[in-house]
Every structure is written in C-alpha cells, then in structure tokens.
Copies of this chain bind each other. A is one copy, B any other.
Amino acid sequence: MATITRVEDPADPRVDDFRDLTTADRRPDRPGGRGLVIAEGVVVVRRMIDSPYPVRSLLGVPRRFDELAGDLAALPVPAYATDAETMAAVVGFHLNRGVLAVADRAAPPDVTELLRHARLVAVLEGVNDHENLGALFRNAAALGVDAVLLGPRCSDPLYRRSVRVSMGHVLRVPFAELPGPWPASLDLLRAAGLRVAALTPATDAQPLASAALGGQRVAVLLGAEGPGLTPEALAAADLRVRIPMASGVDSLNVATAAAVAFHALTPPP
C-alpha cells in the first residue's frame, strides 16, 4: 500500500513534482515541462488511481489521505502528508481540495483500434480553452462517448485545469490525436464505418432531432465556441447538423452544445 511519509520542509526534493504549479515554465504539465499529469481533490485523485495513468506520488493533508485510505491500499507509491501551509508553499497557491496526485502520461491508444467498435466519437477542431475542453470530456464520459479525437489547434486535455474541470474524466475517456493531414484525416473515421456529422449554427444545416442517422455510428465534429469549424472541416463532413437556436442569442458554450449533440446522436443500444 502507499507509504505515508511526513514532509515538514517545503523545499523537500521529494515533492518536486508538485512544485510551483502555476509558474508556466516550471509547471510539469506544459510543453517543455516534464509532461506529468496532476489530479486535484479526492474525487479526481480517485479517478487517476483507477485510470491507466501510472501514479508517481501524492501530496496532501492527513484528513484527505484518511478519505482515500481504501484507494491507497493497493497503490505502491509514496504519499507525502503535510499541513495546508506547507502544501501551499510547495504548490504556489492555497489548495482548497487538500490533496494532489501526480502521474506519468500513458501511451495514447491506437486510433484504428479505438474506432473499431466505437459507436459515438467526438472529433475536435481548435477547442483551445482548457475549461471548455475539460467540461466537454465530463459530458463525453456521462453521455457514453467512446473516444475523443483531437484535430488541429486543440489544448492539451491533460493540462491541470482541464483535468480538474473534467472531474478526472479526461483520465477515463480514451483520446488521441487524429493522425494525418486535416481534414483529410476524417477519412479514417469513415473507413471505420462512422458517419461524420459536423455541428454548426448554420441555418441550412439539419436540425439535430431530424438528422437521419437512425442507428448509425456517428463521429460528431465540433469547433471552438466563437469561430466554430473551419470551412474545410465543414466541407469534409458527411452531413451538417445544428441545434435549433432562438434568435439573438450567442451560440451555446461548446461543451454544452456537445452534450446536446451527444445525447441527440447516441445510436440506440
């Protein structure tokens, strides 16, 4: 089981994985950093422990380790216990959630393998807001999306804030970069037997509710809030679908629009 070790000195090198999480150039989850994945809070730490991401260590206040006792029982990694102030000194800010875990990245899944049996897939273009991306993964997990594929200009789903906003579901929903030149790479989805449906506010797109997709396996193509999908991506889709929207209203948040589409396009079991 996890060995709980007391840490008193914020400079202790054993907690270096958790150091200065807000300072971009030292933050391990940024390009150029060490590529580690950070989970915050009991719920997300628990999901990380249950995920394919290999946990390296934990840092937290004793009360949170008590809550996680069952999860730590079979986990052969160090857990560093400290007080809230020392923890804040290490991390660089005061952490309400009281516990962190750090994991190495896992190898991305093979896209062809991932698509073989997938019934509902999300494909993202330019979703570069970490919170929207995290919320989208949370909704994908809840609504039975089998995989998320990243097209160009997406944020890193394993960035700390995405992990947190996703409630840890980015560690649970398989995702990978879609290989090959965009948007020709969408052919990979068609080759796997999926219909590519682009979500767009364009008024000449089919309303989601009447999209004739009955029973078909679907890849939902989603662009960023604001700019939306590029014309190239829209042209490469098999069909264009829209959420009927009241006039004079900005588009929905991309994660919310995704949830509506995931629900509407889920093939029947």
Report A's interface with B, CB cutoff 8 A: 43, 135, 138-139, 141-144, 167, 169, 208-209, 243-246, 249-253, 255-256, 259-260, 263-264, 266
Check B208–A249 contact: CB distance below 8 A: no
Q: Which residues of B contact A251 (CB under 8 A)?
A: 142
Min CB distance A40 to B, Å, is 16
Contact A263 B266 (CB under 8 A): no
Residue pairs across A and B with Cβ atoms less than 8 A apart, 29 shown, are A43-B250, A135-B256, A138-B252, A138-B253, A139-B256, A141-B246, A141-B249, A142-B243, A142-B245, A142-B249, A142-B250, A142-B251, A142-B252, A143-B244, A143-B245, A143-B246, A144-B246, A167-B250, A169-B249, A208-B263, A244-B263, A252-B259, A255-B256, A256-B259, A259-B259, A259-B260, A263-B263, A263-B264, A264-B264
- Apart from the given pairs A135-B256, A142-B243, A255-B256, 4 other A-B contacts in the complex at a CB distance below 8 Å: A43-B250, A143-B246, A244-B266, A252-B259
A252 lies within 8 A of B139 (CB): yes
Provide the residues of chain B in CB contact with A142, threshold 8 Å. Answer: 243, 245-246, 249-252
Question: In the assembly, what is the distance between CA of A161 and CA of B123, in Å?
Answer: 32
3 tightest A-B CB contacts, nearest first: A142-B249, A144-B246, A260-B263
Which residue of chain B lies nearest to A263 when distances are taken between CB atoms in the complex?
B260
- Which of A138, A169, A263 has the largest number of chain B CB atoms within 10 A? A263
**Closest chain B CB from A150 CB (angstroms):** 21
B residues near A255, Cβ cutoff 8 Å: 256
Instruction: Give Cα A138–Cα B250 distance, bound, in whole angstroms.
Output: 9
Residues in B whose Cβ lies below 8 Å from that of A264: 263-264
Q: Report chain B residues within 8 Å CB of A250.
A: 43, 142, 167
Residues of B within 8 A of A138 (CB): 252-253
Complex CA distance for A134 and B168, rounded to whole angstroms: 24
Residue of B nearest to A243 (CB): B263
In the complex, what residue of chain B is closest to A145 when comparing beta carbons?
A: B246
